[in-house]
Chain A
Amino acid sequence: MDICRALSLCSTCIYERRSKANRLEKHFSVLHFFALDTKNIRNSINSWLYPLLTFGTLILLWWLASARGYLSEQFFPTPAAFVTGLREEVASGSLLRDTLASLSRVTAGYAISVVVGVPLGMVLGTVLGARLALLPLMNFLRSLSPLAWIPFAIFWIGIGHGAVIFLIVIAALPTIALSTMAAVAGIPKVYFRVAQDYDLTGIHRLTRVIFPAILPQLVTTLRVAMGLCWLVMVAGEMLAGNTGLGYLIHDANNGLRLDLILVGMVAIGLLGMLCDRLLMFLTRLPGIRWGYDR
């Protein structure tokens, strides 16, 4: 839950700043049009510039440490070795192949978890009987590391796509269902009273009250779950995969190719960041933004 809060706080900060800029823009729309336009451009440049500075500094330090010999090549690859390794992987096409394999597994596992987990969470949040029956099971699954399922996953499904997707679902589904349930439980009572006054009952209560009411929190849940999927994917591919970025790392480890391990790590980190960025776009939708702007 702490991660959820941190993530939503982080989005709130960003959007507070943005909405303030928007308000100002409306206010001075004619007079200060050009001045504010540059301000917006500056903001968007900064949102790229600052992270680039951070990564640039880290790369510079890495390069310096390697060049001066503080960082032994036996323990960490040099930037040059990394670039060579990256070229090798790109040229052979195996980086693309592994990336696509990992991405498709995460996508499949995530999609299954969301499609099943969100409705399940809504049912758990609204139907007492379902909650009593299924909540302990959900908590049991959530407390159990998904990696513990690896032997069964391999035994039942065999090494490859299916096993990794299974592990991702086992990890993400209970998390999504439980967070959705908590979001439903947190809906202010007054919304249900209003629903009763305005004849929003049955399926309409679910689709036009409960679902929109939990959307902002759901987006946060989806972001946390996406992170979880990437974590599990790597471990799953290392032990139950024969392709993918996790397997790339595992394989490079067997061959003591530190440079390739780093290539795999960088690819996973970047893809994870990209997925989170994509999900963050959801917070800008008008039907969701209210949850971050208040």
Chain B
Amino acid sequence: MSTGSIRIEGLSHSYGATAVLKDIKLDVSPGEFVAIVGPSGSGKSTLLSLLSGYLKPTSGVLERTGTTRTVHQADGLYPWLTVEGNLALGLPKLDAAARRRAVADMVGRIGLTGFEKAYPHSLSGGMRQRVEIGRALCGDTDVLMLDEPFSALDYLTRLKMRSELCRLLEDQPRTVILVTHDIEEATQLADRVLVLSERPASIVYELRIDVPRPRDVTASGVVDATKAVLKAMGYEP
């Protein structure tokens, strides 16, 4: 089980005079899958940057335990490294032989056998994101941050990637923070969905979804949750 946990209290952040986040309170327990949704420009990415330590909050408490890795929207792979080379980045502590075995194992699990020596630019968008998720899951990271990881993909590929992510997380449980503008993605995947308001953003709605994973996108629990979130955001009556 993953050991990464996060505690945020009274966290605010601003860029100069522009307040982006205001008084955020959030507790994420080890192994939990939390999705953060909100209108574009609401500060989702800023929140993720704070959580992963790229930014320091203007004020408030932010406590993290465990190591963190982020899966980016697109182009997070190093283009000068092959699939193997990128995956190996995730395993800096192993010796060469153990690393080779672990990389081969991960290549199999993300379904890219035969593409070990391929460079990212020759892969499709979905394949690239699979490598990036695989790289983040290699080794012993505690917290997985997903920054709109599937938003550059087409709908059907996105559905496929969601179920693959569930499968990978089943094998290697992690604490997951998913930032997305895709409400359906959030409700299909997460244990808990948080809704951010317009800027300066705070958490205005929180929904726990107790449906076991993997969930179908059309499962009643997912549809109900999507409806509830859309309603909270003012998009449905």
Mark A residues whose CB is within 8 Å of B: 188, 190-191, 193-194, 196-200, 209, 212-213, 215, 286-291, 293-294
Contacts and interface: CB of A to CB of B under 8 A. Distances in A.
Given A193-B70, A194-B72, A198-B89, A286 B54 contact: no
Interface stretch (B74-82, B192-200, B223-231): B74-82
B119 interface: yes
A290 B121 contact: yes
7 closest Cβ contacts across the A-B interface? A212-B80, A290-B79, A197-B69, A198-B89, A287-B80, A294-B121, A290-B121
B68 interface: yes
Contacts of B53: 196
20 contacts: A190-B72, A190-B75, A193-B52, A193-B70, A194-B78, A196-B53, A197-B69, A197-B136, A198-B92, A199-B92, A209-B78, A212-B80, A213-B78, A213-B80, A289-B119, A291-B79, A293-B119, A293-B122, A294-B79, A294-B121
Report the contact-size class of chain B (Cβ under 8 Å from the partner).
Answer: 20 to 34
Interface in B19-49: none
A197 B121 contact: no
Nearest to B120: A290
A46 B70 CA distance: 48
B4 interface: no
Contacts of A213: 78, 80
Interface string B173-184: 000000000000
A24 to B, nearest CB: 14
B149 interface: no
Contacts of B92: 198-199
Contacts of A215: 80
Given A212-B80, A290-B79, A290-B80, A193 B121 contact: no
Given A198-B92, A290-B120, A193 B54 contact: yes
Contacts of A209: 78
A288 B90 CA distance: 22
A287 to B, nearest CB: 5
Interface string B78-101: 111100000001101000000000
Contact of A286 (B89, B90, B119): B119
Contacts of B136: 197
A289 B90 CA distance: 24
Contact of A212 (B54, B69, B78, B89): B78
Contacts of A212: 78, 80-81
Q: Which of B68, B75, B120 has the most CB of A within 10 A?
A: B75
B138 to A, nearest CB: 10
Contacts of A291: 79
A194 B76 contact: yes
Interface in B148-183: none
Contacts of B81: 212
Contacts of B72: 190, 193-194
Contacts of A286: 119
Contacts of B54: 193, 196
A264 B78 CA distance: 46
Given A193-B72, A197-B70, A198-B92, 5 more contacts: A188-B75, A190-B75, A191-B78, A197-B69, A212-B78
A33 B75 CA distance: 35
Contacts of A190: 72, 75-76
A213 B79 CA distance: 8
Contacts of B69: 197-198
A200 to B, nearest CB: 8
Nearest to A19: B122
A199 B183 CA distance: 33
A215 to B, nearest CB: 7
Q: Which of B68, B75, B78 has the most CB of A within 10 A?
A: B78
Nearest to B145: A197
A253 to B, nearest CB: 48
Q: Which of A190, A197, A209, A290 has the most CB of B within 10 A?
A: A197
Nearest to B117: A286
A197 B68 contact: yes
A188 B120 CA distance: 16
A184 to B, nearest CB: 15
